[in-house]
Amino acid sequence: MAQRVDALDGHGARGQLFSGELLNETLDPRLQEIVAEAAQRLGTAISLVSLVLQRIQFFRAHHGLPPELEATRATDRDTSFCQFVVRDQQAFIVEDARSDDRIPKDLVERFNIQSYLGVPVSVGGEVLGSLCVIDDKPRRFSEQDQVTMVELATAASERLAELARASDPHSELLSRAAVPAFAELRNVLQSMTMSVAGGQLAVAELATLKRLTSPDLSDEARTRAAGALRSATGAIDDLEQSLMETRNASARAFGQVAALEDALIKEGPGTVAQVIERATLLATHDTKLVGGVQVASVSYAAVSRPRFATSALAWLLSQLATAARTQRTKPALTLQSNANTITLTWTNTQIPTHNLVDQLSQLLGPQAGIQAKATNTQIQLAFA
């Protein structure tokens, strides 16, 4: 038998099957209880909830893994046994892996896998992977073993369904923080469209001057015609103005897109200064209507989760600006940063700061590593 077998070749893309928090790498306590119970009741060394993806199987929960696999929490899909559970949509049993020609031998040889029982786990009728038990010695699995595994797999599937429905806190927060950024982009694109239209009109007017160079005109006729088109030379100024407006609008659009890209896509460490720059850009559509944001001081301290931090600050800025517009005040929004904190202050506006902080805490969740505190005229964000 081959070292690797892709039993799901041709079964199509699987990425769209995994929604919500299914692929969150944080170990889920309920799934961890289920795999521990499976190993205990069947007396095996290892138990897993394995989600079979496009190229790998991801161990959403695990018990008894060797250190190497516990570190990676995954193997290639074409070395897995769980792919056969997904393919067949039913239990897959291996009683003696070394003599079983159906399975790839890579993991058998690397980790001495000798026996396996996997049953489907599913969400919305789609088999996503398996609840499985694995042992380092050949063994038979009884009918009662299979009944037990089906019972536990049902519980695992129920929990996976809950995770699939769960929203990613950052996605919800970002969706709220990004609304002003998209509104600003629409304004910028509208401005660019108007500038381009103005430029096209200027070009059309300048075309009349171009015709003065026609060889069919005498010098006298050319002079008379030029005198009748003195106003057309103003089109040069109009064209210059249109080009300048288009250039400025493109710079604004680029800034908005870059901020959205940083908040939506890029991950990894960042700095407090970058968080402030991106967040103020994202909130520009709202804050410019109340006088903008003054950045009084900037820290270059590291921020471990800048996407969360950027979304949180942008959302706060937009909320404060919206409150100020409602009250028809100019809040003098000011940002100050010191080490790993950002302090947002304002004047002249009554804002329910504690309600805002409570909402933000709910949106962020505990994993964001951000602490928010409030007084009547100040909100402070502290980053881990």
In a domain, 346, yes or no: yes
* Of the residues 150, 165, 180, the one at which a domain ends: 165
In a domain, 248, yes or no: yes
CA nearest to 169, candidates 368, 370, 371: 368
* d(C-alpha 268, C-alpha 116), whole Å: 38
**pTM higher than 0.95:** no
* Of the residues 146, 165, 184, the one at which a domain ends: 165
* d(C-alpha 82, C-alpha 80), whole Å: 5
CATH of the domain at 38: 3.30.450.40
* d(C-alpha 73, C-alpha 83), whole Å: 16
Q: What is the pLDDT along the chain (384 residues), one digit of tens a residue?
A: 455 455 455 444 455 567 667 888 889 999 999 999 999 999 999 999 999 988 889 999 999 999 989 988 988 888 889 999 999 999 999 999 899 888 888 888 889 999 999 999 998 888 999 999 999 999 999 999 999 999 999 999 999 988 887 655 566 676 677 777 777 777 777 877 887 777 777 777 666 666 666 677 677 666 665 555 566 667 677 777 877 887 887 777 767 766 666 666 555 678 889 889 888 888 888 888 889 999 988 889 888 778 788 888 888 898 888 888 888 888 889 999 988 889 998 888 788 888 888 888 877 766 667 888 888 888 988 887
Total of domains in the chain:
2
Which pLDDT tens digit goes with each residue over 170-193? 666 766 777 777 777 777 778 778
HSE-up (13 A, CA, CB side) for residue 153: 26
* d(C-alpha 9, C-alpha 84), whole Å: 11
* Of the residues 147, 165, 183, the one at which a domain ends: 165
In a domain, 9, yes or no: no
* 109 & 81 share domain: yes
Which pLDDT tens digit goes with each residue over 302-349? 887 787 888 888 888 988 888 888 888 888 899 999 888 899 988 887
First and final CA of the chain: distance in angstroms?
Answer: 50
* 319 & 358 share domain: yes
In a domain, 7, yes or no: no
157 within 8 A of 173, measured Cβ to Cβ: no
* 52 & 70 share domain: yes
CA nearest to 76, candidates 93, 101, 59: 59
With residue 251 as reference, give the H or E element that holds it.
helix 234-264
* d(C-alpha 83, C-alpha 57), whole Å: 8
Q: Which domain range does residue 190 map to?
A: 170-383
156 within 8 A of 63, measured Cβ to Cβ: no
